[in-house]
Amino acid sequence: MRPFSIWPARYLKGRVDLPGDKSIAHRAVIFSALASGSTSVGNFPINDDCLATLKAFRLLGVRITLKKTRVVIYGKGPFGLKKPGGPIYLAESGTSLRLLLGVLAGQSFSVKLTAGRSLSKRPMARVTVPLRKMGATITSRKSAGEEFPPITVRGGRLTGIAYKIPVASAQVKSAILLAGLYAKGKTRVIERVVTRDHTERMLGIFKGRKLKSPCKIYIPGDISSAAFFMVAGAIVPGSEILIKDVGLNPTRSGVVKVLKRMSADLKVKNLKLRSRNCEPLGDILIKSSRLRGVRVTKNEVPSLIDELPILMVAASLAKGRSVFEGIGELRVKETDRIRSMIDNLRKMGADIRLKGRESIVINGVKPLRGASVKSFGDHRTAMSMVVAGLASAGSTRIDDVSCISKSFPEFLKAINSLKK
């Protein structure tokens, strides 16, 4: 347990340089490991989740070097992976586990994947069902009609499928596409709502099934991490923050669109539509703003699923009513983020309530008040409460912020550098 207390800021001012995008980093490691040739990955984020993916591929026989934020992966080719000496532990990284299932479905050996306490409670049938349809043999822990880690996957001769994803999930889509690299025939994924397309872009720069290394990849700053600074800059009076080199993939930038609809004083500068890894990036300048309530629809949620907790903080301090629809997927993240955010924000005086099981209604209030809140072991809940504390009356105490290392170990240091 690592408790943390934060007091309101007079204002926030300065520049933020972000760690690389976590979602892109996972995929860069995976494709580089399966490609021919070595790949140098720049601005690699040093967090618990991405390190779990590095460790997994080292256990599968891939040589990987790490120096500061640069990783070099010496590809083994699609069939060069080796059976590990024992189970692969993926800690709390859901992306590592789900995407690795897709890779292992096409191998000639079996592997057991184990997980930490939180990840062991997250649903996995959404991935295992289509992979079985393709020909993989998968066993898992079953309970109440759902599947959970630990999971053992034995690769097989896979056959391509056309699969309509029942739940909007880039992780599920990516696992199927990765398995499709090993499948006979065409693999097609049909989405009801478009989800983040990092895997499709990565397939493009690795030349599809050829999996030829592009030699170098640069990972733009993580927009999910940037969101905390966007909201902080908007809700703390007198603030002005420049966030450098943020990934602005259209399937991920819903948070920017929503904040603009809330009347945030937010500008995108130096936009580069094609960077060194075919991911658009740019700088974001955010200034203190008079936010207004907003409606976020179910179809928008996949483009900002990870940013919903911090947007709830913004809505709590916005003028008028905000509604977040179709957010049930938040219940199966590292924690039930719907419950964690409602519990915490109510303690701070927010007018927030659940409507049905999948919608939240927030009526904006005057400054929140400091309170003792909980992270629930969830990094995004913890960081959201830190930002809420910056704009609250009195001090806010968070019971445990150690979970922040899952995605952004330097977050508190970055916040402190901006406080005035």
Question: What is this structure's pTM?
Answer: 0.94
Q: pLDDT tens digits for the chain (420 residues)?
A: 899 999 999 999 999 999 999 999 999 999 999 999 999 999 999 999 999 999 999 999 999 999 999 999 999 999 999 999 999 999 999 999 999 999 999 999 999 999 999 999 999 999 999 999 999 999 999 999 999 999 999 998 999 999 999 988 999 999 999 999 999 999 999 999 899 999 999 999 999 888 999 999 999 999 999 999 999 999 999 999 999 999 999 999 999 999 999 999 999 999 987 666 679 999 999 999 999 999 999 999 999 999 999 999 999 999 999 999 999 888 878 788 999 999 999 999 999 999 988 899 999 987 899 999 999 999 999 999 999 999 999 999 999 999 999 999 999 999 999 998
Paired tokens of 152: 């053992």
Do 4-20+220-418 and 22-214 come out as alike in CATH topology?
yes
Query: Coil, strand, or helix at residue 255?
Result: helix
Residue ranges per domain, the chain? 4-20+220-418, 22-214
Paired tokens of 409: 């170990």
Q: Is the domain defined by 22-214 classed in CATH 3.65.10.10?
A: yes
For the beta carbon of residue 36, count every other beta carbon within 10 angstroms.
14
Residues annotated as catalytic (active site), given as ranges: 306
| CA diameter of the chain | 62
Superfamily of domain 4-20+220-418 in CATH is Enolpyruvate transferase domain (3.65.10.10)
For 129, residues 6+ apart whose C-beta sits below 8 A from its C-beta are: none
Is the bond preceding 149 in cis, omega lying within 30 degrees of 0?
A: no
